[in-house]
Structure 1
Amino acid sequence: MTDALLVAGGGEAVAGDGQAWPGGGAAVAGGAGAGGELLLHADLHNHTRLSDGDGWAEEAFASMRAAGLDVAAITDHAYGISEPAKTIDDEGWRRIGKLADAADEPGAFVAVRGFEWSSTSLGHMNVWGGERWVEPLPLVSDGVPSGSAIADEGPADGPAAVLAFHDWLAAGDELVGFNHPGREPGRFGMFRYDPRLAERLVALEMFNRDEDYLFEGVDAGVSPLVACLDAGWRVGLAGVTDEHRGGWGFHDGLGRTGLWAPERSRGGVRAAMLRRRMFATRERGLRVDARLGGVAMGATQRLDRINADKSGYVRIEVDFFAPDDWVGHPLRLQVLQRGEPVPAIVAEFEFRVVNRTLSFPVRIDDDAGDWVVLRITDPGRAADARAARLEGYRSAGLAVAYLSPFFVSR
């Protein structure tokens, strides 16, 4: 059972309009983001001919900047032995670094070097901002002949390749994210948790290209969002194009990430990702942020501090600002907590876009895990086909945005 409320006229306004910034960013006038946070529009997952993309790496950053992005990354594949024709090498890695340094312009445009650790069985993970790269430890299922000295499985508690990758990551300071989660059957060693990486494993892709990964693999298991958060990872939620075709940044309807950053620079982007101050969308020009009991999305807070009156209800404030042609359009806000095979919808609210901060009361289930995720949908557009048998998701329509979780301690 969910709480439901039709918010006529957009609900309670608690903050004013944002102030426009050049290059697609925005400053928040009050509430979360006050104190100078900028909204940076980002695409952190792109490919070139240095691995299996169609476009030249020399054109990628300029294309994304011309398309209005504030932050862009090239993350070509590191497959190693399993896909030797589709992987970067040392020279490719150096080229990406030189191109990123040449394109980076603090205050105007942020260019990031990364790579995509790519196992055909365990999954793919982006690694951003470091000076190193590494190939996956090959598995039998990744193309190493049976009988190889490298075993398919390591200790009983996880695949050897995941353990080796975690060891490699623990020796550096790169930021890391889970890509198109659940697409590969190994699911990153079933989202094996490693406390050494808890701070720097910062992202889970919810939109990859035009796909909604909430529903990936639910016929055979649980949603990747549930599996990841219940494993203990404290990730922000991202949208990416995973572009392979060239024309980076110009294809509509594909994932992108909003980052609330202290400044438009590599340091500002890193700070935003470490704080999980991010949201996933497939729509251009959206500005989305939220607070739960006054606490910003991505943060951790004790439940008794956001629910001091013990009523069981907490105030959710949502900043949803969109281009003028969205004004008046009906949308739905879903409040998600732990559930199987998909998150439980513990509250649901309908509202119309009015470009003001909206406020909703919601009851948080003390027994439904230690995270809360906000999902915004458009009931006027058809839901993901995989939601057809999932009550509450089918009627909610197409997902517009996922906000990074609120993490609740007790």
Structure 2
Amino acid sequence: MSGHHSHHCHHDDGRAAGEVPYGQVPPGPAVARRALLAGAGGALMLAALPGQARAAQSRMPDGAARASAVTQGTTLVHADMHNHTVMSDGDGSADAAFASMREAGLDVAALTDHATLFAIDGLSSGEWRTTGELANAANDPGRFTAIRGFEWSHPLQGHINVWNTSDFADLLRASSPGGLYSWLTGRSGGLASFNHPGREVGRFNNFSFNASARAQLVGLEMFNRTDDYLFEGWSSGLTSPLVACLNAGWRPGLTGVTDEHGTTWGFHEGKGRSGLWVTENTRDAVFAAMAARRMFATRVSGLRVDATANGVRMGGVLNTGAADVRFLVDVDRGAAWDGKPLRVQVLRPGTSAPAVVDVVDTVNGTVADFTVPLDAADGNWVVLRVSDPAAANGSPGPAGHPCNDFGVAYTSPWWLRP
């Protein structure tokens, strides 16, 4: 166990605004449409207006303050970048989705219906346009960022979310992961994520690496719905998706998503979501944070996680071969978790499962400060996993593995470059 110390640190929230055009779709009448979309909820939009109390719903108490205790210049926003509607295999009308997610307390939300083959159980061109119109209507720069995306869906190779493109690719336009990467690299600004990684047997052609798409492949889902994907497939003899993806050469940030298919988007405590560190809550700033991997995966609403390694923020590159690396880790869930014991695990490349080179005990609302010797010869990445030692991982790995406890959050990786 490394020596470490901690302190409390709280800041006030602060946000800025700025209008951002979306693809090639003209903006809609935001306020009128949002009022219209209140639907059966009636008070839905009233409750979501800035500065007013939200309607009583089954959601956790307000979370931690939005300013990091270890870095400056950015604000935390809570995001869910993977959601479905009746436009693919979801149950709910797309007209209601963004209002529901805003009402549930999310700051950033995306609709990503499936793109399959010939619009069978998936997006049509008309539905793609409609998704863009709904996102523009719900988008409220500075307060709520609404995003259109799609989920490229191959039944054997896996599913990949894509955001910030003016068109979409189904299996006719891109029949393989490699085909999708080629399509993506032809669209500057487009960003993508490996979804529920390892669930489909082909595993993105075993995470076959495409150097030209590396910068745009910004996400790897570690939490999807209520599941921790660290050991997905391990019991069947497969490699941890985290290890397989990062060892292959990809450099994704780590994310959590609801992957909602019902009608109560955003209102599910315990399902995945992401924290993004943005300069302002706008589309441009959200995509910039994703491109920089300034994000973390969690399944706890209102959680704040930020971390540095020798002063480099998560998602960044450590220009070091072999060195002692000092980590500062800010984890806070607010008053609801005051005094709650937590654990930080330092994950490094392994063969079938990640190696854990240190485990540090901490407490909610403090900054864990510890130093770990790292050597790029042992592998070029390091990830921090935050866990609750009092609960079990529902999908455990090897017997006695330190990550067989309940995952609370993952930082994005750091990459070691001698």
Answering whether residue 230 of structure 2 is matched by residue 214 of structure 1, we say yes
CA deviations over 1:66-91 (Å, ceiling 9, x no partner)? 0010000000001115xx54211011
* Structure-2 residue corresponding to 1:267: 284
Instruction: Tell me the distance in 1 between the aligned counterparts of 2:80 and 2:242.
Output: 20
* Secondary structure, aligned partner of 1:252: coil
Give the Cα separation in 1 of the matches to 2:374 and 2:256: 26
Which secondary structure state, in structure 2, belongs to the residue aligned with residue 333 of structure 1? strand
Which structure 2 segments of 5+ residues have no match? 16-49, 51-62
Tell me if the contact between 2:231 and 2:395 (Cα under 8 Å) persists in the aligned partners: no
Of the three residues 330, 335, 352, the one matched with 2:363 is 352
* Aligned pair partner of 1:12 in 6, 25, 28: 6
Residue by residue, what CA displacement relative to the aligned partner does 1:326-350 show, whole Å, maximum 9, x if unpaired? 1111111000000021100011111
* Number of residues of Structure 1 aligned to a counterpart in Structure 2: 370
In structure 1, the residue matched to 2:216 is 200
How far is the alpha carbon of 1:5 from its aligned partner?
4.1
Match of 1:383 in 2: 393
Q: TM-score, normalised by structure 2?
A: 0.84
Match of 1:61 among 91, 98, 111: 98
State the match for 2:121 in structure 1. Answer: 86
| Partner SS state of residue 183, structure 1 | coil
Which residue of the other structure, out of 248, 254, 276, is the alignment partner of 2:293?
276
Task: Give 3-state SS (helix, strand or coil) of 1:379's partner.
Answer: strand
1:308-334 per-residue CA deviation (whole Å, 9 max, x = no partner) reads xxxx42211001111212111111100
Secondary structure, counterpart of 1:364 in structure 2:
strand
Contact 1:137 1:161 in 2 (8 A): no
Superposition deviation, residue 389 in structure 1 = 2.5
Q: Distance in 2 between matches of 1:135 and 1:400?
A: 34
Q: Distance in 1 between matches of 2:381 and 2:225?
A: 26
Please tell me the residue identity of whatever aligns with 1:127: V
2:110 maps to 1:42? no
> Are 1:337 and 2:363 matched, yes or no?
no
Name the structure 1 match of 2:311.
Answer: 294
Q: 2:185 matched to which residue of 1?
A: 170
Q: C-alpha distance in 1, partners of 2:67/2:269? A: 26
- Out of 337, 344, 348, the position equivalent to 1:326 is 337
TM-score normalised by length of structure 1:
0.86
What is residue 136 of structure 1 aligned with on the other side? Answer: 171
Q: Matches of residues 351-370 of structure 1 in structure 2 within 5 Å?
A: 351-353=362-364, 355-370=365-380
Unaligned runs of 5+ in 1: 140-159
Identity %: 46
Look up the equivalent residue of 1:18 and give its one-letter code.
Answer: H
Quote how far apart the aligned CAs of 1:41 are.
Answer: 0.2
Query: Would the alpha carbon gap of residues 27 and 400 (structure 1) be closer, same or farther in structure 2, given more than 3 Å must change?
Result: closer
- The within-5 A match list for 1:177-256 is 177-218=193-234, 219-256=236-273
> Are 2:124 and 1:114 aligned?
no
CA–CA distance in structure 2, aligned partners of residues 205 and 123 of structure 1 = 12
Letter paired with 1:73: A
- How big is the alpha-carbon RMSD for the aligned residues of Structure 1 and Structure 2? 2.0
Alpha-carbon distance in 2 for matches of 1:256, 1:368: 31
Q: Does 1:405 align with 2:405?
A: no
**Residue matched to 1:157:** none
Q: Kindly tell me: are residues 325 and 71 of structure 1, through their superposed partners in 2, closer, same or farther at Cα, counting changes over 3 Å?
A: same
Instruction: State the AA in 2 paired with 1:401.
Output: A
For residues 132-167 of structure 1, what are the alpha-carbon distances to aligned partners after superposition, in whole Å with 9 as ceiling and x for unaligned?
A: 11112499xxxxxxxxxxxxxxxxxxxx62222222
Q: For the Cα contact (< 8 Å) 1:347–1:363, is it kept in 2?
A: no
